[in-house]
Amino acid sequence: MEKQIKNNNYLLPLLLLSLFFQLSLSDNTSHKHFVFIHGSCHGAWSWFKLLPLLQSSGHRVTALDLAASGIDHRNPDSVRSISQYFQPLTDFMSALPQHQKVILVGHSLGGLVVSKAMEDFPTKISAAVFVTATMPGPALNISTIYSKVFERNESMMDSVYSYGDGRNRPPTAFLFGSRFLASKVYQRSPAEDLTLATLLMRAVPLFTEKDMSDVLKLSERNYGSVKRVFVVSEMDLVSNIEFQRWMIENNPPDHVVEIEGSDHVVMMSKPFQLCAHLQLLAQPRP
């Protein structure tokens, strides 16, 4: 029995690789333009495993740095509004020709950025993919989501806040600590990916609930017209599976897929599985 279990552990990755290459070589696969939006404290670099997999199949890929993220030159404490934080995607979508459509893929906090783009540019988006991402909607506002998050009251361990306006004012930015990254974010990812993250992490700007609520007003007419897919991460310890399913129940997407054994950074811990799902999304429907 033990030998059979071990054999099955090797078989699953081989089957996924087989599916990936079948989709890559299929004449029926429609080449799409994927646009990737990172999560808190990350940057465009966090998609480095996924981008070449999609490119090798002929897809076009774009990974953006949000304001004060990745190689964006801004200081996190200088980004005062969530609209300013979203600006790189807003500029990209504004410049996109009207006849072109993209598939937006958001991770974690990037779900807010994707949601805003769905509201502002619905005719330019063929689908929106929420990878264990925050997913507000017309009937699920950001205040309700954050109230649910704060119910858990979990320790952020060695993560740190910065106080650009002084210690007597609310914090202006937040940065994951290395122990938190290792035990809660990258706990099922390769060690080299964790090391990369500790070298490239930058603090994420923080915003008031009022600012987020005012900006993220989502309608059925715009946001609701875009096809949505939610990718559930089974072993996510940041947005645990119960929270992910709560968002799905309160703001049902068109499709839900689940990736087993993945941590919060699905694109690091299970890149082939995530790529296979995106490949299926890119295939033309009968």
Residues annotated as catalytic (active site), given as ranges: 108, 236, 264
Secondary structure (3-state) at 128? strand
Residue for token pair 């987020």: 212
How buried is 5 (Cβ within 10 angstroms: 0-12 exposed, 13-18 middle, 19+ buried)? exposed
Provide the β-strand partners of residue 209. Answer: none
Q: What is the CA radius of gyration of the chain?
A: 19
Mapping DSSP onto H, E and C, the string for 151-209 reads HHCCCCCCCEEECCCCCCCCCCEEECCHHHHHHHHCCCCCHHHHHHHHHHCCCEECCCH
| Torsion (CA) 132, 181, 37, 13 in degrees, nearest 10 | -60
Nearest to 241 by CA among 228, 256, 226: 256
